[in-house]
Structure formats: C-alpha cells, structure tokens
Copies of this chain bind each other. A is one copy, B any other.
C-alpha cells in the first residue's frame, strides 16, 4: 500500500520551488520523433515539452506540457507560466477544483502549461488514494477502445515501411488536406485493408469537394473524418456532417469545455486533448458533457511522453475512439505507462496516472 517514492533523479537538473506544503519541480526536454512528421500546417522532427513533478508529504505526482509549435507555446512560455505558480495558500492537494481554478486564472491561454500542473496534481492525489484515476472515476478498464496509429505524408516506400511498423494496430490514422488525399489513401490501400481514420486539419476548402471526398473515403473503409474545414466555417462543417456517410469530429474547433456545446450540430463528435483543454479535470467534464449532448468522444494527444499519454488514457473507457499514439512516435520517452496490446489500450492498475520513470 505504500505509494510514497523518491523524486525521479531526472528532475535534479531542473527548477525546484517550495511553496507551502508543496514543492514544484520542472525542466524543459526535447522529444525526438522517430519519423519527420508532416501535417497540413508544416513538418517537424522534434517537439519541445516541459516535464513537471509535484511533491506533497512524501508523495510525488508527475505531469507534462507538450508544445507543438502551432499551439503558440514554447519552453519559454511554459517555464514563464510555471514560475508564476504559487500553491502556498492551498493546504490540501484534494482541493482540485480550487487549485485548478486558480491555475486557470493565472493567464488566459497557456493550456499546455496548465495541463502540466493538472496532470501532476491528479497523479499526486490518485497516489494518495492508492488508486488509478480510471478506478476513481468508476470506469471499466476493459472498455478502453483500440487506439489508432498515425502514418504521416510520405513516399510510397516509406508509407509501406510505416504500415509494417503499424502491424499491431487495428486502426490507422492519416493526415489529409495537402491536396494529395486520394494518392495517400490509395498508397496505404496497396499495403493494407485495415480501417483508416483521417485528419484533415481544416485542409479542405470547399464543402461540396469535402462531401465528394467523404463518400470516396467511406468506400475506402475510412471510418471518420477529423476537422474537415476551417473551424470558423461552422455552417459548411455542419452541412458536411449532415450529409456525410461517416462521422465528423471537431478538433481545432474544440479546445475548452465551452466549445463542446458549440460543436453540437456542427460535428458528430469532439476530439478532446489534455494539452488543449488544460488537463484531466476539464477533459473528464468534457467527456461527460459530450455524452449528454449525444456527441461522440475521441481522445487525442500531441507528441508526448508516456506521462501525458497515460494521463489521457485514464479516460479511454469513456471514449468511442482514442488516438493516443504520441509516445509511440518518439525515441526518447522517459516514462513507462499505458501499454498497447493488440492495438488496444491497456490501462495500468498503478495509482494516479500509472507511470514510472525509466531513467
């Protein structure tokens, strides 16, 4: 039953600040991608993250902020945010609503920085209750769905290599919206007939073209379409959703909980990501709200270590689809947590977010 543990030595090189009964630790880290990653908005080979740890009475919770460049956060903005955090007025980490309300009020944006505190706090409190969050939330870990595995835009040879690499996965995810959509799908279909989901990242410019593509994709065993057109084009996305033979998901259109209500009638479902929505507490509320509004639920991620991925996976039993391959795409993970077995998310029974440091 003893869950107390020493702080991972990785944090010794970072910043440590004692604030009342809490000590917050953080350091910047660069995730190296196994493959250069191309989406509609650009390419990259690494992703900056900031790793956090929160200590309280001998318990340690771990967290993470991941900052793909298009979110507007960087090592500097996250460190600057974390330097402002002062938990000294909170006596008890169980006051999640109050603490995370305070964190959210420090700045208007900085959702990834906020998530790095939210995740560490959940890990800490879960460890103090000796339970993983999927149990605290009353969920059945066996209901976690299969996860998709992303295949970036690339040459036919490299696509073939990635399809082989994706062998354990039951669902492939493909980024579209760069004008090479049919070619990409046809290339993959040379090598496998597994179901595919596509993320257009707002790349389609015309609703009729989008609908034609939706029908074409459905014939190719594509099972849903993420963010087909620009999020501001609400009426056109709604029209596409209404007429599409396969579901649509809002992603860029859905960041915080207020966006869930606004997605009703526009998309079939919402893609919830911890780094967009400030963390596990708001994500849990978003999943519940989406279900009440009869919206489908997808859990997504950025390129992240197993820390943030395992945090998101606690909600997997409530999701219709999960896209939690972020840690699989990097070569320098520093945590062991959520596993994928036969393409399915397997949640850890370990308390909190269920991760351990592997360095």
A136 CB contacts on chain B under 8 angstroms: 129, 136
A129 to B1, CA, bound (A): 11
A246 to B239, CA, bound (A): 40
A130 CB contacts on chain B under 8 angstroms: 129-130
A97–B292 contact, CB under 8 A?
A: no
B138–A281 contact, CB under 8 A?
A: yes
Q: Does any Cβ of B come within 8 Å of A288's Cβ?
A: yes
B292–A257 contact, CB under 8 A?
A: yes
B292–A138 contact, CB under 8 A?
A: no
B261–A139 contact, CB under 8 A?
A: no
The CB with the most chain B CB atoms within 10 A, among A125, A139, A140, A293, is that of: A140
Residue contacts A-B, CB under 8 angstroms, 21 given: A94-B131, A94-B135, A95-B138, A95-B140, A96-B138, A97-B138, A97-B139, A98-B140, A100-B138, A125-B138, A129-B129, A129-B131, A129-B136, A130-B130, A136-B136, A138-B281, A285-B288, A285-B292, A288-B288, A288-B289, A289-B292
Chain A contact residues, CB within 8 Å of chain B: 94-98, 100, 125, 129-131, 135-136, 138-140, 257, 260-261, 281, 285, 288-289, 292-293, 317
Q: How far is the CB of A118 from chain B (nearest CB, A)?
A: 11
A135 CB contacts on chain B under 8 angstroms: 94
A351 to B150, CA, bound (A): 44
Query: For chain A, what secondary structure do more than half of its interface residues adopt (helix, strand, loop), or is it mixed?
Result: helix
Residue of B nearest to A97 (CB): B138
A288 CB contacts on chain B under 8 angstroms: 285, 288-289
A140 CB contacts on chain B under 8 angstroms: 95, 97-98
A131 CB contacts on chain B under 8 angstroms: 94, 129
A95 CB contacts on chain B under 8 angstroms: 138-140
A56 to B285, CA, bound (A): 30
A96 to B318, CA, bound (A): 13
Residue of B nearest to A291 (CB): B285
A138–B261 contact, CB under 8 A?
A: no
Residue of B nearest to A95 (CB): B140
A317 to B288, CA, bound (A): 20
Given A95-B138, A98-B140, A100-B138, 13 more pairs with CB closer than 8 A:
A94-B138, A96-B138, A97-B139, A97-B317, A129-B131, A129-B136, A130-B130, A138-B281, A260-B292, A261-B293, A285-B288, A285-B292, A288-B289
Q: How far is the CB of A313 from chain B (nearest CB, A)?
A: 16
A285 to B293, CA, bound (A): 13
A125 CB contacts on chain B under 8 angstroms: 138
